[in-house]
Structure 1
Amino acid sequence: MSLDTVKHATGTPDTEQPWAELGLKQDEYSRIREILGRRPTGAELAMYSVMWSEHCSYKSSKVHLRQFGEKAPENDAMLVGIGENAGVVDVGQGYAVTFKVESHNHPSYIEPYQGAATGVGGIVRDILAMGARPVAVVDPLRFGAADHPDTRRVLPGVVAGIGGYGNCLGLPNIGGEVVFDPCYQGNPLVNAGCIGVMKHEDIHLAQASGPGNKVILYGARTGGDGIGGVSVLASETFDSTGPAKRPAVQVGDPFQEKLLIECTLEIFREKLVAGIQDLGGAGLSCATSELASAGSGGMHIDLDTVPLRDATLSPEEILMSESQERMCAIVEPGKVGRFLEICEKWDVIATVIGEVTEGERLEIFWHGEQIVDVPPRTVAHEGPVYERPYARPEWQDALQADDAGALPRPRDAAELRAQVLRLISSPNQASKAWITDQYDRFVQGNTVLAQPEDAGMVRIDEETNLGVAMATDGNGRYAKLDPYAGAQLALAEAYRNVAASGARPLAVSDCLNFGSPEDPGVMWQFAEATRGLADACLHLGTPVTGGNVSLYNQTGETAIHPTPVVAVLGVIDDVNRRTPIGFAEEGQLLYLLGETKEEFGGSAWSQVVHDHLGGLPPAVDLDREKLLAEILISASRDGMIDAAHDLSDGGLVQAVVESALRGGYGARLVVPDGLSAFTFLFSESAGRAVVAVPRSEELRFTDMCGARGLPATRIGVVDGDALEVQGEFTIPLAEARTAHEGTIPALLA
């Protein structure tokens, strides 16, 4: 078949093209023809199809995501916001931190190991492209029912992929979550986050300015893996028959990525690049169009110079390939020699594939023939924008009316004890050590907190002990009951987790996982969740710096629960002042901060004991969250508390069991006046934490809480080797540990 050049396309307007097979709609194809004034070439069609996909263009979500900019709180720490590879914030002492969370959901269902591994690789390159050294990763995960055979297929592969890739890179995995729910059966959520550190002056942006500057592709050779991969795969629902007819999932090489990281950081140190972009979703189509669009606008590429693993690849396949471990740099002519020397030193293939031009067109050639001639902004930044219809689902009222508070409660102390053991051994509340022990959490030697702590924390300056913390949270059950409140509760929990560690919450990244945007009910969930998150970020003063939207997470007509995952980054002046969750010493006094109410909608208790989802989620009080955070941070800094644990899924009893098992000391609890033992133990009211206070600090701590107006109730003492709720029951720590730690290995062994 002859090459489909621009000249050929101009002269053959009626040639049929596979636009529908590439995921484009009829009106989108018509618009491409209108932009170009002719039919697109095959290469142009390939570029538009991947760049206008849901995953790359955000065409269904853009109208709602604008709120994150419109409602952004004033924040002096923000250095780079939404629109770049990742957001960047000032954390003091001349340091900047960049962080982001993204999804690799659909590829991880098809090929769990490589899907998860390349998810880690992609987010690490996003961070690297900002000019930062990656220092830690996190991984929020969602799987189907824990005892389902397909979970046993998907979960071990995903965990091995995350551990295998991250461990080979030498990056500590410091946080994340693992949640099981039947709604994720055909659509596991594999979200990956990364934190990077740099000095302010080292920030790099993705833009190609300076006519005559060279375009250099460096890293791995381009292969046939991932052609149309995440960009198209994440823009369609799965059919009910499972993972058939799928584009190839990308294949990762962590050793190649490690070389790429060190090579790139040396290139940065010598200030050899004018602009840089990683190659992830949409591959070269994305890198060339985004760099040109954000720069002066003109670029000439000789596609036949791209180093290939497979010499049979067509130009269209080269442009669409999502082969991993590749970067694209814009380099001044006088610096090209040194750039190539450094790449050769690190055994990284580097090739000049083009240059920045005076014009306003992205022009791509294949053996001297022009196959692409497009305005780059129309590919990268001016794709379709849909205001999709949305409507509150008809079933929402009935769901909320089905109040979890009306469910049968334990009839006596023996049943209460049995339900506590049932809760802490349930897959979602059980220890995830079987999973997290496969990750290296302490490589590089700067990890100071990691799972199962409330937040992961790393030291970023070994002399001053400046550090950053990150927590990710998202409760799909809450969001199903009320998407607006559910998104705010996700933010509130991550914010609270960071504060409980002693760090000051600073900024937010998010990964918004939802079903098909073509379903008005799903779009209503998305609209409500983004509105809720934007409003809450404004109230808490934590701007959204960037993130990801993952749509079409459904099989047939069955969508996942709306699952906005929120990552909060915090800063701590001295990591030696951090607060762990574990009870560290007998005799410490236990205080419950915040108010406990009859709130069981979407709770772990209602799920574990009654397999029930209904009612309303816990009420959100953002002012209380801010106050609680301020108290936790001050108490940590001033040495008033030795342990702190936020209260969320599973309520007080879950938190106390985790803190007791973590520290190795038991606790004696007294039910406060006005509360039943059941409500005291299982309520999931927000804005709460349990803290362990040294007796010498009790007066100072309670005076601070009283002066600030935060309810602080003494509920017991760290003591012995059992969990005792006075007047109710006693559970030896050994029995609690067996229940808590045995579930996941038994399910997945």
Structure 2
Amino acid sequence: MSLADSDRELVVEELGREPTPAEAALFENLWSEHCAYRSSRPLLSAFSSEGEQVVVGPGDDAAVVALPDQETGENSGTYVTMGIESHNHPSYVDPFDGAATGVGGIVRDTLSMGAYPIALADSLYFGSFDREHSKYLLEGVVEGISHYGNCIGVPTVAGSADFHPDYEGNPLVNVACVGLTDEDRLVTAVAQEPGNKLVLVGNATGRDGLGGASFASEDLAEDAETEDRPAVQVGDPYAEKLLIEANEVLVDEGLLESARDLGAAGLGGASSELVAKGGLGAHIELERVHQREPNMNALEILLAESQERMCYEVTPENVDRVREIAERFDLGCSIIGEVTDGSYTCTFEGETVVDVDAEFLGEGAPMNDLPATEPDTPETDLPEVPLETALETVLSSPNTASKRWIYRQYDHEVGVRTSVGPGDDAAIVAVREADTGVAISSGAAPNWTSTAPYEGARAVALENATNVAAKGATPLAAVDCLNGGNPEKPDVYGGFRGIVDGLAEMCETLSTPVVGGNVSLYNDSVAGPIPPTPTLAVVGTKAGYDAPPLSVEPEGELVLVGDRVLASGEARLGGSEYLARFDGSDRFPALPEEPAALIETLAAVADDDSTLAVHDVSHGGLAVSLAEMVTGDAGLAVSLPGDDPAGELFHEQPGRALIQTDDPEAVREAFEDVAPVVSLGRATDDGRLTIDVGDEHLAVDAATIGDWRATIERGLD
């Protein structure tokens, strides 16, 4: 770790002296890209984060959003927390521990708001599936997430998995968490009053994870898997489970004034940010921190990112009770200092090793003004492929194939709240406290955003909102995880700026505030930069917990809503899995003209009694969505009205949905002046998918479809 010369000059000017080694290391980590968002913060003002439902917006450990009363629409008094974080570099170096501690970190962000975690969503991105290294990373990451999530008893209910050659040297692991709290239980990371004690509760501090924040702010080197291993934290989910339950008791008894989990930059990051948010200072005695390794020095204690630790602000009269609760749950507890109205100071064995202004430490990093170049618009180069070959190839792609191998390793039913689990368009968890179903969708689309960053990011936002609406829920709020390569490269920064603006524009159009998030840059390696990847996690709400299924029943008419190609005849295949498989290029599809009205109408129609099944249409196009709706008991006989089979079956315009209904006229009336509605055919009882388009006729049974879509299982056997 070393502080950049330009940053050192600013620190020296502020302090009036050279920084101590501990101060220099603290500034180096807290002023890193990972913590200070030096290259991204100037762009983030594009997001709209306000709304009547927003209780706590960006800047805290997690956002807090009020659930609406399902009858009146007013604040129900029940809150959900939303957070998302990346653990990309650690998951490349050590897939199991990197992914596991990513889960642990976002769960503790939830705890620090006084909330109980009720659901997780994982969005994962790897190199080409035919590479052995990609499979090694996939297996390790999924094992880490499942081990940690299953052990702590928080269900992983939603997510996504994508494979793209540009992730080969730098996979992405993005994890979101939804928690549950209310107005009386809410805690924030804003220190309240001088004289209150700072109490460290949880695991003992070791040397693991040293310099993790600065490590996450650098390109991955060729030898990262060996040289950067000490920067990766080691998780203990059983200690985290104890911490979850202890935190619940502390919140129930009203013992916490403020809270911050220990993540990036360890104790130094958590404690300094806590007091800075309250415009206060602190005095910390580092030797009081309970430790698990001998002879740790001040810098190690200050910056180690050992897991399963929380920093609490507690009034003096409540300290003994907090210690009693920690001991009851077999957790370590140290009274490490107190809140002051002065500077942020840390001493070690009587010597002052840190004495700085907390606000300057947290907010003093200068922002970067980086050049950006706009991406080129792709030329049109469409391959000619036999339609049956195209269907099998696209359905067999790991991007559109079944992700059952992944989500079956997760306990998605623990907590008995899961009404709709993974494998559907969106998950639904029951919040019985407000008689509300909370729908969750999370993911991105690297093919889209590598082809057209701005339009692709708009499409990502619309796709996640469509997933939620397909289950009858209305989008409430979102959090984002913005992943990019080295921002010092103008073309990379131009792509990153495009995904920020695109995501912000569509979320505002949909009246879905982006209430928090995470930025991960320098996802670059010897293999090159990753595609710009805007993971979005959207939460929606509905009355009750039931939702229309994805699979069709043996009888009923099938209609397609929102498809501009079948309405206009102009197909654009840019960003599609079809072109990714067959080496072509094209412009990105045009999006619906009235996306907000489309989402609102789709949610209402999905909840109608005459609706039998709903499935969104996106990745892989109409062909994949039709195949996913077929089962051994129910098939589909479909006829498309156009004369461009490849374009109609494989373009990936989001904002579309297939609806099986007993009342197609009611669907047409609902979408009148909102989006086109096309009748496609009827469900059958033969378990076959038949498609007539132009002069082509395709027929395939459910068993063959299932075999084609078992790519991941076959590849990992």
Shorter-chain TM-score above 0.5: yes
- Confirm whether residue 501 of structure 1 aligns to residue 466 of structure 2: no
> Offset at 1:557?
6.9
Which residue type is aligned with residue 568 of structure 1?
A: V
Give 1:452 shift: 0.9
After TM superposition, the score normalised by the length of structure 2 is: 0.95
Q: Aligned partners of 1:425 and 1:302: how far apart in 2?
A: 58
Question: Residues 130-169 of structure 1: matches in 2 within 5 Å?
Answer: 130-169=113-152
Match of 1:611 in 2: 583
User: Residues 625-664 of structure 1 correspond to what in structure 2 (within 5 A)?
Assistant: 625-661=595-631, 664=633
Q: State whether structure 2 residue 709 is matched by structure 1 residue 740.
A: yes
Aligned-pair CA distance for 1:594: 1.3
For 1:667, which of 604, 628, 636 is the aligned residue? 636
Indicate if the aligned counterparts of 1:284 and 1:319 stay in contact, CA closer than 8 A.
Answer: yes
1:361-510 equivalences under 5 Å are 361-392=343-374, 396-397=375-376, 400-403=377-380, 406-410=381-385, 415-461=386-432, 465-510=435-480
Question: What's the CA shift string for 1:177-210, capped at 9, x where partnerless?
Answer: 1101110001000001100011122221102221
In the alignment, is the contact (CA less than 8 A) between 2:53 and 2:67 conserved in 1?
yes
Are the equivalent residues in 1 in contact too, given 2:124–2:174 (CA < 8 A)?
A: yes
Matches within 5 A, 1:308-387: 308-359=291-342, 361-387=343-369
- Residues 507-526 of structure 1 aligned to structure 2 (within 5 Å): 507-526=477-496
TM norm structure 1: 0.91
Matches of 1:701 and 1:483, distance apart in 2: 33
1:569 match: secondary structure: strand
Instruction: Summarize deviations over 1:81-136 as a string: whole Å, max 9, x none.
Output: 11111111111232111112110000000000000000000000011111110001
Tell me which residue corresponds to 2:90. Answer: 107
Corresponding letter in the other structure for 2:163: F
Aligned counterpart for 1:711 among listed residues 666, 676, 699: 676
Is 2:555 the counterpart of 1:587? yes
Question: Does the alignment pair 1:119 with 2:107?
Answer: no
Alignment partners' CA distance in 1, 2:587 and 2:223: 34
Preserved CA contact (<8 Å) 1:186 1:242? no
Give the counterpart letter for 1:363 in structure 2. T
Q: CA deviation at 1:703?
A: 2.4
Map 1:34-113 → 2, pairs under 5 A: 34-68=13-47, 71-72=48-49, 75-92=51-68, 93-113=76-96
Whole-angstrom CA distance in 1 between matches of 2:316 and 2:627: 62
Match of 2:658 among 690, 696, 703: 690
Distance 2:277 2:294 in 1: 31
Q: Distance in 1 between matches of 2:603 and 2:131?
A: 41
Distance in 2 of aligned mates of 1:189 and 1:579: 32
Q: Which amino acid aligns with 2:66?
A: D
8 Å CA contact 1:390–1:520 kept in 2: the answer is yes
Distance of aligned partners of 1:362 and 1:664 in 2 relative to their CA distance in 1, 3 Å threshold: farther
In structure 2, the residue corresponding to 1:728 is in which secondary structure?
Answer: strand
Match for residue 9 of structure 1?
none
The letter for the 2-side match of 1:226 is: G
- Letter aligned with residue 402 of structure 1: E
The alignment of Structure 1 onto Structure 2 pairs a total of residues equal to 700
Counterpart of 1:611 in structure 2: which amino acid? D
Give distance in 2, aligned partners of 1:110 and 1:158.
11
Counterpart position of 1:282: 265
User: Is 2:212 the partner of 1:239?
Assistant: no
The separation in 2 between residues aligned to 1:483 and 1:737, in whole angstroms, is: 33
**Matches of 1:129 and 1:675, distance apart in 2:** 57
Please state if 1:724 is matched with 2:685. no
2:646 equivalent among 670, 673, 678: 678
Q: Which of residues 284, 293, 310 in structure 2 aligns to 1:301? A: 284
1:228 aligned to 2:211?
yes
Give 5+ residue unaligned stretches, structure 1. Answer: 1-21
Deviation track 1:535-578 (CA, whole Å, cap 9, x = no partner) reads 222221111111011111111371111111111111112112x2
Q: Secondary structure at the match of 1:344?
A: helix
Asked if structure 1 preserves the Cα contact closer than 8 Å seen for 2:478 and 2:536, the reply is yes
Cα distance in 2 for residues equivalent to 1:664 and 1:98: 40
Q: Which residue of 1 aligns with 2:71?
A: none
CA distance in 2, matches of 1:702, 1:561: 39
CA shift for structure 1 position 241: 5.1
Cα offset, 1:427, TM superposition: 1.1
Q: Deviations over 1:410-454 (max 9, x none)?
A: 4xxxx3122211111111111111111111111111101122101
Match status 1:214 vs 2:197: yes
Contact 2:257 2:315 (C-alpha < 8 Å) held by counterparts: yes
State the 1:716 CA deviation: 1.2
Task: Kindly state the Cα deviation for residue 290 of structure 1 after the two structures are TM-superposed.
Answer: 0.4
Return the letter of the residue paired with 1:705.
F
Indicate which of 172, 175, 197 corresponds to 1:192.
175
Residue 266 (1) aligns with residue 242 (2): no
Distance 1:196 1:94 in 2: 14
Matches within 5 A, 1:565-576: 565-576=535-546
State how far apart, in whole Å, the 1-side matches of 2:348 and 2:139 are.
Answer: 43
> What amino acid does structure 1 have at the position aligned with 2:371?
P
Structure 2 CA distance, aligned partners of 1:376 and 1:52? Answer: 13
One-letter amino acid matched to 2:209: G
| Displacement of 1:634 | 0.9
Give the Cα–Cα distance (whole angstroms) in 1 for the partners of residues 30 and 341 of structure 2: 24
CA contact (8 A) 2:30 2:269 kept: yes
How far does the alpha carbon of each residue in 1:266-302 deviate from its partner, in whole angstroms, 9 at most, with x for none? 1001100111000011111111110110124121101
**Residue type of the alignment partner of 1:388:** L
Q: Which residue number corresponds to residue 177 of structure 1?
A: 160
For 1:676 and 1:38, locate their aligned partners in 2 and report how far apart those are by CA, in whole Å.
71
Helix, strand or coil at the partner of 1:197: strand
Structure 1 residues 430, 287: closer, same or farther in 2, change over 3 A?
Answer: same
Contact 2:169 2:526 in 1 (8 A): no
Instruction: State the SS of the aligned residue for 1:570.
Output: strand
What amino acid maps onto 1:38 in structure 2?
Answer: R
* Alpha-carbon contact 1:619-1:686 (below 8 Å) kept: no
CA distance in 2: counterparts of 1:166 and 1:239, whole angstroms: 30
Displacement of 1:23 after TM fit?
4.5
Q: Distance in 2 between matches of 1:619 and 1:24?
A: 46
Q: Distance in 1 between matches of 2:496 and 2:239?
A: 38
CA RMSD, 1 decimal: 1.5
Deviation of 1:329 (Å):
0.3
Equivalent-residue separation in structure 2 for 1:680 and 1:715 (angstroms): 12
CA-CA distance at 1:714 after TM superposition: 1.1
Q: Distance in 2 between matches of 1:181 and 1:301?
A: 46
In structure 2, C-alpha distance between the alignment counterparts of 1:564 and 1:375, rounded to whole Å: 34
CA distance in 2, matches of 1:121, 1:664: 41
The one-letter amino acid paired with 1:34 is E
CA offsets 1:18-38 (integer angstroms, 9 cap, x no match): xxxx25321011111111111
Q: CA deviation at 1:656?
A: 1.1
